[in-house]
């Protein structure tokens, strides 16, 4: 079975992390038959338990979507004759 590489990074060294073995949550759990248990992240560089780095989302003080200015040119509904063009000037 192929192990999937984790894309998560450690908070201390910004290197890849691996998961620890599943630890039993209750007394009497057989470690070979455990499906649910406690797992922690181990940094591959410093070999210690580390927190996972989480990218913070960026927030704007103004909404950039509402700042888009549309085309202000008027659409011509029909072609004007030369006489109408002279009158409009």
Q: What residue numbers bound the domain in which 17 lies?
A: 1-23+36-53
Question: pTM of this prediction?
Answer: 0.46
Number of domains in the chain: 1
pLDDT category at 3 given cuts 50, 70, 90 is: low
Residue 59 inside a domain? The answer is: no
pLDDT category at 1 given cuts 50, 70, 90 is: very low
In the predicted structure, residue 28 carries a pLDDT above the cut 80: no
Alpha carbon 30 to chain centroid distance? 37
What are the φ/ψ torsions at residue 9 (nearest 5 degrees)?
A: -115, 150
Residue 66 inside a domain? The answer is: no
In the predicted structure, residue 71 carries a pLDDT above the cut 80: no
What's the rounded Cα separation, in Å, for the pair 45 and 43? 6
What's the rounded Cα separation, in Å, for the pair 76 and 88? 14
Residue 4 inside a domain? The answer is: yes
Determine whether 50 is exposed, middle or buried from the number of CB atoms within 10 Å of its CB (0-12, 13-18, 19+).
buried
- State residue 2's pLDDT score: 54
What's the rounded Cα separation, in Å, for the pair 51 and 9? 9
């Amino acid at each position: 079975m192929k192990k999937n590489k984790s894309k998560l990074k450690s908070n201390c060294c910004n290197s890849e992390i691996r998961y620890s073995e599943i630890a039993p949550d209750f007394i009497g759990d057989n470690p070979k038959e455990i499906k649910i248990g406690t797992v922690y992240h181990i940094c591959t560089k410093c070999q210690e338990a580390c927190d996972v780095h989480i990218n913070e989302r960026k927030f704007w003080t103004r909404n950039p979507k509402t700042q888009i200015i549309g085309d202000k040119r008027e659409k011509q509904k029909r072609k004007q004759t030369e006489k109408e063009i002279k009158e409009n000037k």
